[in-house]
Amino acid sequence: MCSTVFAQDNNWTDVEKSLNQQLDSNPELALKQAQELLKKENYSPNQNREAWFTLNEKIAHAQINLGLFEEAEKIAGHLYQIHDANVFAVYKARATLLQAMLAERHNNTEQVQAKSKEGLALLEQQDAQLQQTLKADLYSLLSTSYRALADYGNALKYAKLALELSEGDLPKLARSHNQIGVIYDYSGNVELALKHHELSLNIRRQSDNQQGLSDSLYNIGEIYRDMGRLPQALKHFKQALKVDESLGNPYHIANSHGKLGQVYLAMGDIKRAQEHIEHGIYITNKMQAPSDAAWQMSNLARVYVAKGELYKAHEIANDALELAINAKAKRTEHTVRMALLDIAMAQKNTAEARTQIELLLSMPNTGLQYQQELHKINAQLYEESGDITEAYLALKRFVEVQKELYSYIEKRQSERVAQNVEVIRQEQALSLLQKEKALQQAQVDNLELQRKVVVLFMLLFLGVVLMFYFRQIAKQKMANLSAQMLATNLKEKNQLLSDVSHELRTPLAALKLSIELLEHNIEPDTEKAYGRVHSKIAQLDNLIGDIYRSAQYDNNVIQLQKQPADLSELLQDIVNDFKPQYQLKPQALVIDPLPEGLICEVDPERFKQIIINLLNNSLAYTYENGETHVSLQIIDCNGVNKAQLTVSDSEPGLSGAQLSKIFERFYRADSSRSRDLGGSGLGLAICKQIVLAHGGEIVAEQSELGGVTFKVLLNLS
């Protein structure tokens, strides 16, 4: 597909669209194709500057995704240098975006902010509508830089600005939701974090954005890890790593390895944890990303704590701290210091532990929840050393911070209530204003209405006449409809009587013939003749009983004796009774393993009647050496658990038209079948009546075995 598009050099829009798709799913291929296109004369800066610039831009983006940062920096620097800000402001802004992206990969937050703000300043005098996508990218990078500095207020502010400008651009919209979700997660608002991550994931699934899918899976995995749901976290991080490795972005691959290491460590699998984390350290060192390397090393230090090698853990954590401080990565520094505190506690090094606690408490990004935990640890340390006074003071600070935390939570709740009250107040004010305008309009309308009183009376009179006329028509229609319904009911009653008499006539005729043969001593085998008589009498008795039961269901006479019952036990009893009949035919009766304790509120005898009728139907109509398959299971129907009984058989099958009539009284799909095989013709109709009386549903459809499948759905108690 791509080669066809690129062959059409005159269609630049299609070329760019195809390149964007490849950039998300296969950056290596996008890099090669963009480099080939750049060699063509019609994509030179003189003939088509936009295409030439965009191809260089795509090459740099692909190189960033593949970790080829030096090559990307050369292109970004060249594009920045050759474009004058007064003449080519937009091109220069796009070049600063590339430089900001590269700075972000190297964890240089100051450079990210400087370049992002420079790009936004260049776009101030440009058409906002045309450049909103570029602005969204710059705001997104600004948000990322503030998040790295643990300034979540500014991070959220710029992420929301990026979201507003991304409307209509699905990939950027998904990225913004994902970014906001990460900020809420870091801020401790898990509910809002999951909401935005799910929005991002759904958008990325629609657009098949593989890298975006990986980001969403990664961040949802983080939330599951923080919630202690480690198997779910492991599943999401593994999926993210698989996508990252297929795309080849070392930045994302390293992060996924680090997160897998954290989860394995929490699960006690130290060997796997160390393998993943060391792989992540190797990649981050190769990328020259000190902040990411420091984070990976803090994870490795925790691995050595778990192994009991505390000296090694302390050495690695100190190296990580130096990297984080030099990179000015405040959040990473906070993470490393927490690891150092854990190491000091494990070493029983009280002085070091207190030092780290003081430093952590002095850091602006240490939240109230962390602060109260640190004060609690401090109080414990003083108590163990016998300094009761300092222990009391630390405990007092713990209580103060705890009160402050509760106050903060209460304030947040009060703010939400106040916002809701303000919204209601504004709605009431708006409603009052609308009423005042409506009153003024009513006064104007009243003057107009006074001039039209005569016309109004005429219209009212005409309306009364028309109402009377239409009412007479409606009465006539109702009378016609009633007559039609009576005629239909009479026709259905006559048809039912005809069907009943027809069904009775056949066994009665056979019964009469057998009696006459006996009466005139013509029948050679008297015992066999009496057997036929008894058989026909039993058939008549079954038919009359079925007709009676069907009539009772129609008239709502039968009262169900519902009680909690184990459906598996009821089904097993009936199947055991039927096995000899199936073996005699012969016909295979297969039942799936039944679930234990499947309790449902049913009338046990009526439920058994459903199974008996369905098995009788299958036994009668399935060819010899055929198969009947029975199963009982719990299924999810739109979030509601239901019990599903399934009876499927082999050939012969039925058409769609025949299946739609199969629950009608006395209906037989094949009129040539013997009525001895067909039973009363009411079994399936009675099944449907019993199921409906239980508030369930029954359907018939074509079976994979070649015959018919009946499915009965009942609500679980």
621: its two tokens: 């109509």
Instruction: Give 479-501 pLDDT, tens digit per residue.
Output: 777 667 666 655 655 555 555 55
Question: Directed axis angle between helix 388-451 and helix 453-519, to 10°?
Answer: 110
Instruction: Give 531-541 pLDDT, tens digit per residue.
Output: 666 665 755 55
Res 646: pLDDT: 94
Mean pLDDT of 24-40: 82
- The size of the chain, in residues, is 717
Cβ distance 204 to 196 under 8 Å? no
Res 711: pLDDT: 92
For 694, other C-beta atoms within 10 Å of its C-beta total 21
Question: Over pLDDT 70: what percentage of the chain?
Answer: 77
Closest CA to 274 of 291, 293, 244, 297: 297
How sure is the predictor about 709, in pLDDT bands with cuts at 50, 70 and 90? Answer: very high
Cβ distance 542 to 681 under 8 Å? no
How sure is the predictor about 23, in pLDDT bands with cuts at 50, 70 and 90? Answer: confident
Mean pLDDT of 601-622: 87
For the ranges 246-255, 318-327, 393-402, 654-663, which has the lowest average pLDDT? 393-402
Res 424: pLDDT: 47
Cβ distance 298 to 342 under 8 Å? no
Res 498: pLDDT: 52
Task: Measure the CA–CA gap between 667 and 654, rounded to whole angstroms.
Answer: 13
Residue 671, pLDDT above cutoff 90: no
Res 18: pLDDT: 80
pTM, to two decimals: 0.42
Name the 3-class secondary structure at 709.
strand
What's the chain's average pLDDT? 78
Res 425: pLDDT: 55
Q: What is the DSSP string of 449-517?
A: HHHTHHHHHHHHHHHHHHHHHHHHHHHHHHHHHHHHHHHHHHHHHHHHHHHHHHHHHHHHHHHHHHHHH
Choose from 221-225, 439-443, 695-699 the range with maximum mean pLDDT: 695-699
Mean pLDDT of 16-39: 80
ω into 507 cis (within 30 of 0): no
Mean pLDDT of 591-617: 87
Cβ distance 390 to 382 under 8 Å? yes
Mean pLDDT of 72-98: 88
For the ranges 17-31, 579-593, 626-640, 666-680, which has the lowest average pLDDT? 666-680
Instruction: Give 174-208 pLDDT, tens digit per residue.
Output: 888 888 888 887 776 777 877 887 887 787 777 66
Residue 688, pLDDT above cutoff 90: no
Residue 562, pLDDT above cutoff 60: yes
Give the angle subtended at the CA of 530 by the CAs of 529 and 536, to the nearest 5°.
90
Res 578: pLDDT: 87
For 479, other C-beta atoms within 10 Å of its C-beta total 10
Q: Which position has the higher pLDDT, 98 or 381?
A: 98
Res 417: pLDDT: 46
Distance set, CA 333 to CA 29, 111, 212, 318, 322 (Å): 38, 19, 28, 11, 9
Res 365: pLDDT: 61
Residue 241, pLDDT above cutoff 70: yes
Question: H or E element: which one contains 24?
Answer: helix 12-25
Residue 300, pLDDT above cutoff 80: yes
Cβ distance 684 to 617 under 8 Å? yes
Res 627: pLDDT: 92
289: its two tokens: 């990303």
- Tell me the sheet residues that pair with 573: none
Strands 588-591 and 627-637: parallel
Closest CA to 219 of 264, 249, 174, 169: 174
- Contact partners, residue 597, CB within 8 Å, separation at least 6: 566, 568
How sure is the predictor about 710, in pLDDT bands with cuts at 50, 70 and 90? Answer: very high
How sure is the predictor about 630, in pLDDT bands with cuts at 50, 70 and 90? Answer: very high
Cβ distance 665 to 685 under 8 Å? yes
Cβ distance 34 to 19 under 8 Å? yes
Instruction: Give 405-434 pLDDT, tens digit per residue.
Output: 666 656 655 544 444 444 345 445 545 666
Mean pLDDT of 284-296: 83
For the ranges 124-138, 214-228, 500-514, 597-611, which has the lowest average pLDDT? 500-514
Res 539: pLDDT: 53
Residue 673, pLDDT above cutoff 50: no
Res 401: pLDDT: 67
Residue 504, pLDDT above cutoff 60: no
Per-residue burial over 403-441, b = 16 or more CB atoms within 10 Å of its CB, e = otherwise? eeeeeeeeeeeeeeeeeeeeeeeeeeeeeeeeeeeeeee
Question: Over pLDDT 90: what percentage of the chain?
Answer: 5
Residue 442, pLDDT above cutoff 80: no
